[in-house]
Amino acid sequence: MNTRTAVITGANTGLGLECARSLLAADPSWHVVFAVRDGGRGAEAVARTASPDRCTILPLDLASLTSVRAFTDMLRAAGLPPLHAIVCNAGLQVVSGTAKTADGVEMTFGVNHLGHFALVQGLLDELARPARIVVVSSATHDPAKFTGMPAPKYTGAAELAHPADVTDPAEGRRRYTTSKLCNLLFTYELDRRLGHGGQGVTVNGFDPGLMPGSGLARDYPPMQRLAWRYLLPALRVLPGIHSTRTSGRNLAALANDARFDGVSGEYFDGLRPIRSSADSYDRDKTLDLWETSERLLTRATK
């Protein structure tokens, strides 16, 4: 019997789909909302689960704050079991120039951070306690890790939201790593504001590892896309490289397993809590990101 609802963004493919499948398989009490841009692809994904009757597809475009607000309204009206988990999973990486969201915000920052910030803010009052929020970050946020990606450059959230145009693909990748730093700044500040789990809601960050075959390379040049799709899967024996199935199972565990009851404000490499980058604990950056994000949401409603 369905008694709990989990919202998973980007659940139609890759990590999000594997998380949904694992959550449904792990516990029959879960009903999973596939928060996806494309309803057709969402329906195909639901059909690939073992329990399509315990799934609901609701449209969500994180590149539009209007869409985020509409999603929260639809969820409230859907008559589903109480909301007990939000998994902020969807993400993208734009390397072919500067793209913008419907609200005029740089696309990588807008989708990976601001859209999820708006979603969580809109759903906090809907959460039934105890509840869990899991935010997918990445080891690429940490310049001390040798990921092959440019180090993040947090120059201020206002500049991240409205940067100068660039054409260098390396700067596009840097915007991605910086957005993953923002994910953790958001995670830790939300945890603080919710009393480190004291209000019945836990908040944790998650590094899924490098996952060949995920959609993050879709804006890469053709040869790099081919390598991402066909060469990297052969390297899964190396540390830090995982299948989407393995990472999806770990992500579902953070949203569901009893061993994580009450655990909050942590950053997990798989299922192992580790320290994140030095910058991710910087209070000045944290407050700048939070306050700027609130201003961006306010402007979007006017």
The 10s digit of each residue's pLDDT in 246-257 is: 999 999 999 999
- The residue from 154, 176, 220, 267 that is catalytic is 176
Collapsing DSSP states into helix, strand and coil, what is residue 126? helix
Q: What is the pLDDT of residue 169?
A: 87
Burial class of residue 153 (count of CB atoms within 10 Å of its CB; 0-12, 13-18, 19+): middle
CATH of 4-300, one of 3.90.226.10, 3.90.1300.10, 3.30.70.2170, 3.40.50.720: 3.40.50.720
The domain spans of the chain are 4-300
Concatenate the DSSP letters of all residues of 19-35 into one string: HHHHHHHH-TTEEEEEE
In this structure, the strands spanning 201-207 and 267-269 are parallel
Q: Is 220 a catalytic residue?
A: no
Q: Torsions phi, psi of 188, nearest 5? A: -70, -35
High-pLDDT (> 70) share of the chain, %: 89
Cα–Cα nearest to 243, from 251, 134, 4: 251
Distance from C-alpha of 250 to C-alpha of 247, rounded to nearest angstrom: 5
Q: What is the pLDDT of residue 167?
A: 83
Q: Compute, in degrees rounded to 10, the torsion defined by CA atoms 107, 110, 115, 117.
A: 160
Structure letter (DSSP) for residue 261: T
pTM of the model: 0.91
* pLDDT digits 0-9 by tens, 107-166: 999 999 999 999 999 999 999 999 999 999 999 999 999 888 999 999 999 999 999 998
Q: At which residue do the structure tokens 């793209």 appear?
A: 99
- Average per-residue pLDDT for the chain: 91
Q: Which residue has the higher pLDDT, 233 or 297?
A: 297
Residue ranges in the chain assigned as alpha helix (H): 14-26, 39-47, 65-77, 107-109, 116-123, 157-161, 169-193, 222-226, 244-256, 283-300
Concatenate the DSSP letters of all residues of 31-70 into one string: EEEEEES-HHHHHHHHHTSS-GGGEEEEE--TT-HHHHHH
* pLDDT digits 0-9 by tens, 13-49: 999 999 999 999 999 999 999 999 999 999 999 999 9
Collapsing DSSP states into helix, strand and coil, what is residue 286? helix
Lowest mean pLDDT among 159-168, 254-263, 268-277: 159-168
Distance from C-alpha of 80 to C-alpha of 16, rounded to nearest angstrom: 20
Q: Long-range contacts: 296-301, Cβ < 8 Å, 24+?
A: 296/103, 296/105, 296/114, 296/161, 297/65, 297/114, 297/117, 297/118, 297/121, 299/103, 300/65, 300/66, 300/103, 301/65, 301/69
The answer to whether residue 231 scores a pLDDT higher than 80 is: no
Through-space distance between the first and last CA atoms of the chain, rounded to whole angstroms = 42
Q: At which residue do the structure tokens 């499948």 appear?
A: 21
* pLDDT digits 0-9 by tens, 84-110: 999 999 999 998 889 999 999 999 999
Of the pLDDT bands very low, low, confident and very high (cuts 50, 70, 90), residue 218 is low
Cα–Cα nearest to 246, from 206, 205, 204: 206
Question: Is the distance from CB of 298 to CB of 65 less than 8 angstroms?
Answer: no
Of the pLDDT bands very low, low, confident and very high (cuts 50, 70, 90), residue 238 is very low
Q: What is the pLDDT of residue 295?
A: 98
The answer to whether residue 223 scores a pLDDT higher than 70 is: no
